[in-house]
A = this chain, B = another copy of it.
Amino acid sequence: MATIRDVAKTAGVSIATVSRVFNGSSAVNEETALQVWAAASALDYWPNGAARSLTTSRSSTLGVLLPDLFGDFFSEVIRGIDQLAKREKYQTLISGSHASVEDVLTATRAMRGRIDGLVMMAPDSITVESVTKIRRRLPVVLISPPFAVDGCSSVSIASFSGARAVVAHLVGLGHREIAMVAGPAGNVDAEERLRGYRRGLAEAGIQPRDELVVQGDFRESSGYAAAAALLDRRPRPTAVFAANDCMAIGLMSALGNAGLSVPQDVAVVGFDNIAIAQYMRPPLTTVHVDAYALGQKAVRLMLDTLSDPDGAKVTVQTIDVALKVRSSCGARPSTTADAYTGADTDQQR
């Protein structure tokens, strides 16, 4: 493995000059630079990343921490992160499946000295203290955090208002018995969607009832399982709002197996608008969330934090969502404009 010294020797210059050439810094005679490039290419040389970060104390790498969830939505988020990071010449050190606070701390420890900042989609069990602790040594941006942390920018999904809009829409279609398949307890977005569902009902003058809420875990199977429980309810719900599309899809499958048709017998609405939602039979009414943009915004906030000298600028963003009416809710799908909801706030403090 050729080092900077080999290149220097081959090019007949000092290592300082080679370094300058590779960093495009200050003035190096053009002819000299060409010799250096030639030597480097002959030796297949490229600066060693570890050595470089050791002296510069910058790694051009972003750490990404993910919870144990996966699937279409999360892979879109990662794609957004990766692409913007790549465009900005950053690499991406990913670590998934963190269930506990201890897990997270271990992972960030292992990343020490290898990353310039941490984008964190934390597990539900994370605490303010642990994030604060990490923040002391490293810029941190949070995605859908359960709380605000001093010095951390964050970007969240307008889950509450999206869910409220879903209920309002269903009520507008005449539904009164609206059930919900909730997401995993503890998950912020799951809870916000549940809260929005309850608020939506209350605003329509309908008393939210706990027996109409079935617990799920964001996966298809739990949506499928939820159907059995809901079909037992009397009066039977005429509409079901699932906290994400995967569960909605599982639910629709179970309803079909039970001989019920969507939306005639039961209306179904999901959340996220994953790629397949529009290809379901019937096409799934859902709340569109731009997962790709979510990932991108997180990286953008991180870059802002990194370029901010004293780390004083903290931005708390919410990405907007939009009700996407298709057929599964029984409404005539609006082919053009979708009902808009949610806010794209961008506060600085």
CA distance A111 to B91 in the complex (A): 8
CB distance from A286 to the nearest CB of B (A): 14
Q: A92: CB under 8 A from chain B?
A: yes
CB distance from A294 to the nearest CB of B (A): 15
Chain B residues with Cβ under 8 A from A114's Cβ? 49-50, 61, 91, 114
CA distance A275 to B110 in the complex (A): 32
Chain B residues with Cβ under 8 A from A113's Cβ? 47-52
Chain B residues with Cβ under 8 A from A49's Cβ? 50, 110-114
Chain B residues with Cβ under 8 A from A275's Cβ? 71, 219-220, 246
CA distance A60 to B79 in the complex (A): 24
Q: Residue A92 contacts which of B70, B72, B94, B136 (CB distance < 8 angstroms)? A: B94
Interface string of A224-268 (1 = CB under 8 A from B): 100000000000000000000010011011001000000000000
CA distance A95 to B79 in the complex (A): 10
Chain B residues with Cβ under 8 A from A279's Cβ? 220, 224, 249-250, 252-253
Q: A96: CB under 8 A from chain B?
A: yes
Please tell me if the beta carbons of B46 and A112 are within 8 angstroms of each other in the complex: yes
Interface string of A132-174 (1 = CB under 8 A from B): 0100110000000000000000000000000000000000000
CA distance A92 to B53 in the complex (A): 18
Q: A124: CB under 8 A from chain B?
A: no
Interface string of A49-67 (1 = CB under 8 A from B): 1111110000111000000
Chain B residues with Cβ under 8 A from A74's Cβ? 75
Extra 4 A-B pairs, beta carbons < 8 Å, given A91-B93, A93-B94: A70-B76, A224-B279, A250-B279, A253-B280
Ranked 6 nearest A-B pairs via Cβ: A48-B113, A75-B75, A49-B113, A253-B279, A50-B53, A49-B114
A-B contact pairs, 13 of them (CB 8 A): A49-B111, A49-B113, A50-B113, A61-B93, A78-B96, A82-B96, A83-B96, A86-B97, A220-B278, A220-B279, A249-B279, A250-B279, A253-B280
